[in-house]
Structure 1
Amino acid sequence: MTGAPHFDYYVLGAIGLLALCSFLTRAGYFLFGDYFPLSDGVRRALRYAPTAALVGIVVPELLPWHANTGYALDIKMLAAVAAVGLYWRTRSSLLVIVGGMFAYWILRLLSELRF
């Protein structure tokens, strides 16, 4: 460690406590789920958790505006539009991933070749 000993112990302790909290919240239901059954309403709501997490990760990356610059059309947004169109046409998740990345690579290559 590079800093003062009390600071290093503080950082290591914080990392350890955060790891413990993360483990308990993630593994808690697996360990104690049989003792605390979920209601039907909670089960229905949890069906949307993976979709909400994916939207929370993808949408901020695709938003076409940035701080202090305003609206800007980005290559990522165009590739996402191509991927969504591909999904509407084929309904294949794997094809969406491959086609979206292919569209992104092609658009990036074309933007770099532009003089």
Structure 2
Amino acid sequence: MTDLWTVGIILALAAVTVLARGFFFISERDWSLPRWAERGLQYAPIAALAAVVMPEIFTVQGKLIQAWDARVFGAIAGVAAFYWRRSVLATIGAGMLVYLPLHLGLGW
């Protein structure tokens, strides 16, 4: 059974999360972000995606790759598809269409 300290910590973390996320709804005043902040937030999803994907492409267990493998070719195909179609779905699709046969078929 969970002890009282653990339950208290979970409840405190939940309260902080609700307060932080609901802060803008609790206020009586209308909030508006400056234009520079709105513009910066437009790039947040792609920046987060890059932060997750790039280390996976260029490193293996924290060390830089020594030779090109299926991940690099899949990434190149994804970048080319993005510049051609300007679609995230096309980017993912093209990258996986190149990556999977190389990885599963050739064992790269």
Structure 2 distance, partners of 1:33, 1:74, is 55
Structure 1 distance, partners of 2:15, 2:71, is 37
> Which of 100, 107, 112 lines up with 2:102 in the alignment?
107
The equivalent of 1:85 in structure 2 is 80
- Aligned CA-pair RMSD: 2.8
Structure 2 distance, partners of 1:88, 1:16, is 46
2:4 matched to 1:25?
Answer: no
Q: Is the 8 A contact 2:82 2:88 kept in 1?
A: yes
> Which of 36, 39, 45 lines up with 1:44 in the alignment?
39
Q: Structure 2: any 5+ residue segments left out of the alignment?
A: none
1:27-47 per-residue CA deviation (whole Å, 9 max, x = no partner) reads 333443853332223222222
Q: Structure 1: any 5+ residue segments left out of the alignment?
A: none
2:50 matched to 1:55?
Answer: yes
* Length-normalised TM-score, structure 1: 0.67
Instruction: Look up the equivalent residue of 2:65 and give its one-letter code.
Output: Y
Identity %: 32
Q: Which has the higher contact order (CA 8 A, sep 6+)?
A: 2
Q: How many residues align?
A: 107
Shift of the 88–41 alpha-carbon distance from structure 1 to 2, 3 Å rule, reads: closer
Structure 1 distance, partners of 2:79, 2:103, is 18
The equivalent of 2:91 in structure 1 is 96
> Which of 73, 76, 79 lines up with 2:71 in the alignment?
76
Instruction: Look up the equivalent residue of 1:71 and give its one-letter code.
Output: I
Structure 1 distance, partners of 2:28, 2:36, is 16
* Length-normalised TM-score, structure 2: 0.70
